[in-house]
Amino acid sequence: MPQTSVWNKILRSLETQLSTIASAPPIQSPNVSYKPTKGTTYLRSSLLPAATTSAAIGLDGNDFYSGVYQVDVFSPRGLGAKTAIDMADEVIELFVKGTVLTTDSFRVKILNGSIQAPLEEPDWYQVPVIVEWFSHGNN
């Protein structure tokens, strides 16, 4: 059985944490077909990795992984900003600075979470949530 890649462990750690959100809206995961239901708030997650760097000198040292986990909150248009911002706050509460997520002994540490500028689409009010993370490990 092939070993799970570092990136899959990181994604699984972040997705597992997101799935614990109390309000339990539908979540569109990367590369999974999803058709939003008009009038229903939903989330869309994306893993945006940065370049892997060496965390130590030499060929046997650990690598440093970092990046952004973006969770877009889509709220039906016309409800005002409060609905989407409340949901974005729920997402951020799952990814508090210093939180450590573990999958198969691989640890991902959360640096911070923040809400970005909203975007308006014909049917949706979108609020992006940015979660910065990092990890050390051997690939």
For the chain, how far is it from start to end, CA to CA, in angstroms?
16
Task: Give pLDDT, residue 62.
Answer: 82
Residue range 14-47, pLDDT digits in tens: 999 999 998 889 999 999 999 999 999 999 999 9
Q: Using 50, 70 and 90 to split pLDDT, how confident is the model at 4? A: low
Pairing of strands 42-49, 53-54: unpaired
pLDDT digits (tens, 9 = 90+) for 70-109: 999 999 999 999 999 999 999 999 999 999 999 888 899 9
Q: Which residue has the tokens 């609020």?
A: 127
Q: Where are the domains of the chain?
A: 6-137
pTM of the complete model: 0.90
Full DSSP string of 76-132 = ETTS-HHHHHHHHHHHHHHS-TT-EEEETTEEEEEEEEEE---EE-SSEEEEEEEEE
Residues 6+ apart with CB under 8 A from 129: 70, 71, 72, 73, 88, 91, 92, 113, 114, 115, 116
Distance CA 86, CA 24 (A): 13
The per-residue pLDDT for 139 is 46
Is 3.65.10.10 the CATH number for 6-137? no
Q: What are phi and psi of 24, to 5 degrees?
A: 50, 55
Q: Say yes or no to pLDDT of 3 above 60.
A: no
